[in-house]
């Protein structure tokens, strides 16, 4: 599995985990509308993170920000727990990043740390 594929897998797992915490019906509803109304599959989320963020805002309103923070925290925990991550000292303080900017910054750190 490539570094990029591993990163994408961890991101999808984090998103899925947080959506599951809202209940299976909510999670299934989100994935159903993503795929049917926006043509975005669960596995395409890492490449279409900005579209996903816009979708969340339309569905959850201001509650989308709280979901995105939970996605980021869960995702960071997954990356930190990854046994191949060499630079575990990388810490992201809560700064003003959009969800998509955070994911892109984490992708850069993840790829650099895996070399």
Interhelix angle for 3-21 vs 99-113, to 10°?
Answer: 140
Per mean pLDDT, which range of 7-16, 81-90, 106-115 is the poorest? 81-90
All domains of the chain, ordered by start, with CATH?
3-113 (1.10.1200.200)
pLDDT for 114? 62
Can you tell me which residue has the tokens 């920000």?
65
Say if CB 80 and CB 88 are below 8 A apart. Answer: yes
pLDDT tens profile 17-38: 999 999 999 999 999 999 999 9
pLDDT for 107? 84
> For the chain, what is the mean pLDDT?
85
In the predicted model, what is the mean pLDDT of residues 88-96? 50
pLDDT tens profile 58-84: 999 999 999 999 999 999 888 877 655
Q: Residue 89: pLDDT above 50?
A: no
Tokens, residue 14: 């984090």
């Amino acid at each position: 599995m490539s570094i990029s594929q591993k990163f994408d897998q961890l991101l999808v797992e984090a998103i899925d985990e947080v959506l599951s915490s809202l209940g299976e019906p909510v999670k299934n509803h989100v994935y159903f509308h993503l795929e049917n109304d926006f043509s975005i599959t669960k596995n395409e989320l890492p490449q279409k993170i900005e579209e996903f963020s816009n979708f969340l805002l339309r569905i959850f309103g201001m509650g989308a920000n709280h979901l995105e923070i939970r996605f980021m925290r869960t995702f960071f925990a997954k990356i930190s727990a990854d046994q191949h991550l060499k630079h575990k000292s990388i810490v992201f303080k809560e700064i003003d990043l959009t969800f998509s900017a955070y994911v892109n910054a984490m992708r850069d750190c993840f790829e650099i740390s895996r070399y």
